[in-house]
Amino acid sequence: QVQLQESGPGLVKPSETLSLTCTVSGGSISGYHWSWIRQPPGKGLEWIGYIYDNGNTNYNPSLMSRVTISLGTSRNQFSLNLGSVTAADTAVYFCARHFLGTWASWFDPWGQGIPVTVSS
């Protein structure tokens, strides 16, 4: 059974870069699309972007200028970099797999999520 786990710093200073890693266990990254999704405190869900196993990416236009999603050096990891962060980027960040072997899919499974606070 595929499981995902987010990792990274829980506190980032304003104007700096938020960097998170998602580690996939129980399965391979190959053949699937993988997304980052975030949820500000007490608010709804926002899709950030996805990456395919060949490195192709697709980002939410609302964040595109600041986002990079990349494959990790380990074949079972992928990462999120979000630059020039502000307090508005404070959120729980989730990684998730696209269930189907295509980009047009619901998300399942999800990682547990990692809370990230932007503050000096």
CB 2 within 8 A of CB 107: no
Nearest distance from residue 43's CB to other proteins, in Å?
8
Nearest distance from residue 8's CB to other proteins, in Å?
16
Q: From the centroid of its chain, how far is CA 87?
A: 18
Which positions lie near other proteins, rule CB under 8 A? 35, 44-47, 58, 60-62, 94, 96, 99, 103-108, 110-113
Q: From the centroid of its chain, how far is CA 97?
A: 10
CA torsion angle 46 69 72 8 (round to 10):
-50
Output 87 or 108, the one with its CB closest to other proteins.
108
Output 46 or 53, the one with its CB closest to other proteins.
46
